Structure formats: structure tokens, C-alpha cells
Structure 1
Amino acid sequence: MLRRNEGRLSAATAPVVAGGPALLLIAHGSRDPRHAATVAALVGQVRALRPGLEVATAYLDHCAPRIPQVVARLTAAVAVPLLLNRAFHAKHDIPAALRAAGAALPVADVLGPSPLLLAALDRRLAEAGLDVSSAAVRARTGVVLAAAGSSDPAADAATRAVAAEWRRTRGWAAAEVAYASAAGPRVPDAVAALRAAGARQVAVAPYLLAPGLLPDRIATAAEDAGADLLAGVLGPAPEVARLLLTRYDAARPATLAAPARTA
């Protein structure tokens, strides 16, 4: 279920807490340098929205610094996963990494679902050349929400719910979900389904946060399938930065003693 009030949060109305706990952004990490560059750009957006808030970044894999290195220097923090769905990384990897580091931190919810993510998807489609402000254009456009995919059925169901909500609230001709890994359908299947449903043009929107292997796979598949338009990844969209702060604020205790460590 999308949290509709999140779409109304702005930099002006976001609560500012002087001297509050740090926001510890936990990203997955990638061997692709574009991943870390995108995370750094997103952190810059968060800092611009909330001046004075300490923002630190830690990675689960491939990139440095790792969680133990970062939590050791933080007095107090709220861990905010840079994840779209509550799947294996959110349920198991992040809690296990924090436990192994001896850090008893509050952990925020994952980013999705949220109206802010739908707004970020709109933004990326507009940047790719689609007139998302036109109801007529939306009514003749079918969209593919191209996600990573998961072995967790609940995570894939959540992605399908996002696609359904995106279609309902925007008036797209149709919306299909495709996955770059795990089980299908793949992007060509989704494009073909939209064409068969009567969509006059098809746009592929990656439901991914940073460039890398899977977004590249989606881009190649979209081109091979003859999609009319390919959006960029969500990346450091302003809406994503605002959503990170929303999750941080929701998870931040009223008072947080320092340091938050386990034996």
C-alpha cells in the first residue's frame, strides 16, 4: 500500500533536528564505479535538503567503507537501507551485518512503495522525452516497470502493486512488470504484451536506483524489443532524497542515547 502523505513532504516542511542521530545510508555496493558515484550524488542531495544532518554511507559488498568501519565512528545513528523492496538484503543481510558490527541501531523501512518513487519515475520519463504532463500522451503510452527481480514472492508482488498504482494514478494505457534477473517476464515479453494491449507507444522505466549490470541488461533488452523510449535509473532524483529523509524521520527515536552498541 502506497503511503500517500509522503508525496506532500518538501524540503521546506521536512522536520529539521539539530544534533540528531546520523543518517547511515546502507547501500548494496557494486563493482561498477557508477554505483558508488550515484550513491555519493544522492547523499549530496540529502545533505542539501537537511543541512546540519550527519550523513554517512556504508556498503554491504564490493565497495568501501563497510558497515563495521562506519558504525565504529558514529555516536548515534539511524540505518536507512537504500533498497526499493523488503527482500533478502533488507530482511537478512543488513540486520546480520549490523549485528556482526555490534551495532544496535534503529533500522528504517525500505524505500518502496511510495508516491515519491512514482514521481521519480515520472521525472525520469520526462527527462527521456515523454510528455508526462499530457493526459492524452499518457493514455496512449504503455509503461514497463523494469525491476531487478527477486526470489522473494512478496517483493515481486510489491513491485507489481507499484506498477498497478502507477497506471491507476497516471492513466497509462497499460503497465507491465519485467525483471532483469530471477524469473520472468523479461522486458521483451512486457513490451510485446503492451503492444498487444493496444499501446501506441511503449516506454521502459527501470525501477532501479543506480547504474550497473542489471540496468545495462534492461537497456539492451529495451532496444532489442523496439521500445520507443527508455528512462534512466532513479538515481539521485530529488524525490528519492526526500524519501530517504522520510524513512529516517519515521525511524528516529524521540531520544537516542549514545552510543548504540551491543556487547
Structure 2
Amino acid sequence: MVNTINGSLSSEFAKFQRQLVTDYLAWQAAIVREYKRPDQFITQNFDLEWHGYSFGIQPDVDHFAAAKALDIAGLLSHDFEPNPVYDEAKTIGKDFDRLSSKLINLKKKNDVAILFSNEALTAFKAFGFWLEHGPVIMMYYVSFYDGLYHMNVSCDFVDPTSKNIEDYKLLVVPLLYAAPDSLLKRLNAYVKNGGHIIYTCKSGFADENVKVRTTHQPGIIDEACGIYYSQFTEPSNASLKVDNWNLKPEDKKLNTWMELITPTTAKVLAYYDHPVWGKYAAITQN
């Protein structure tokens, strides 16, 4: 039950709740480790967002922090009985054991990462938008992941606490609605030092207390993006106006949200095809 219309207050309480989950799992795991055998591991039914099935990112638990208490996450269900996922994990473990001499020191390094933030997820719940078939923020994450997958580009997931953000060549940053100045400045520095970022709408809009920034939007990252905007709207019948992209008419249709962008140093890749908003940019590159 939500007893406040104050997005800043509800977001802060959600952060407190996430910490309770992290502390509780760590407390449980510490007790189990006192009694378990050296060959036993600790696992947990660690589910994701629920969309009729496990879907996207868990918005109510801090994935990275909570998972530190576990050896292996979501293998067993509530009945604690072996299941196909558990059996598959055992098979993989045996394969690793059999091939360990050939796999030792083997590393897989991804050049692309998707940045997600529980703080942004919570804030967006208060001030975001929905699609008919579910929460749009998860659709954003999944659509970018699917796009990378279909291009055979493997990626990692990182959050603002990750120490290795600067190691990637490309960061995808969907809907970073709420973020402290320090994170946005860190992302600006990443770009200045040669990194590439794909930002979506709503990024940089509010600080960590879900207070809307009183500067040009998109806040501090306008330096890296080379754009600003002060107005936004729902697309209605708008579509993309773009040349040489070989898009079908249905692929140019917009949905959910439009930010009416004015470039400063950025190059316009696509405008809006609309009688009033046609002068504004839809996609830019800086």
C-alpha cells in the first residue's frame, strides 16, 4: 500500500526496503554457513520482475548487493526439490570439472554493458508511463538487450556501484530518470575519455532525491549529449522523419514519449514527422 503522493519520500522508503532484503539474506546466509559442509552451497529463489513470468530486472531488490550473500542464485524453487534448471547446472558443473585444465585462465570480456539503477526504477514508477501490456521501463531494458542479442553482441549489466564502468566501449543507459550529480559527471567523463553512450528519454531528469533538476534538460549530461529540451509530449500520430534508413512505415511510428530536442553541438539523425513538432530533433549524435 502506498501512503504518499511524494515521489521523493516513496523512493527513499523503497531504498530502505531494498536494504532490508540485502541485510536479511546476508543474515540468513551467515547462519547457514556456520552449519553447512564445505561441499555444500547456498542458493535462493531469486526471482526477477514479474510480468506473468520472470521478466527483466528485479526492481524491488538490489541485485548486485543481495546476490553477494549467495553462492548461486534462483536454482531451486520453493519446494527445495531438484528441477531441470538444477540438473542443468549440475551438468555444467561436471563439464567445467572435466574441462578445467583447458578452461583455466579463460576469460570472456564484453565491450558493451547496459546500465540499470534501482533508484531510477523506483523513481520512474512514480513519474513514468505505462504501455498496455506492462511497465514500459522493463520493455526498454529488454528491447535494448534483444537488439544486442540479435546482432550477436554480448553484454553485461552494471549499476552505479560498479567499479568497472569505464572498461566498456559502449554503455546503454535506458531511462536513468533519477541519478546523483556524481554519476552523471562520471558518465560525462567516460564519454570525454572516449567511451560511447546511448541515452534514452527521461535520462538525467532528476537527482537522487527525485528532485527535478532546475537546469536545461537532460540535466548534467547535456554536456555529453550536445542537446537540450524543455518540452515533451505523447507522440499521438507522430512518426520519424529520416532518410536512408530503409525503414518500413510501421517502423517509423512512435509510441509512448517524445522529447522535443534542440541540438547545440549534436548532429541530428532524425526529426519528428509532425506538422507542429517537425522542427524538433528525435535522435541525435554528439
Question: Is TM-score (shorter-chain normalized) higher than 0.5?
Answer: no
Give the TM bin, normalised by the shorter chain: under 0.3
Q: Which has the larger radius of gyration?
A: 2
Greater helix share, structure number = 1
Between the two structures, name the one with larger relative contact order (CA 8 Å, sep ≥ 6).
1
Which TM-score applies when normalising by structure 2?
0.25
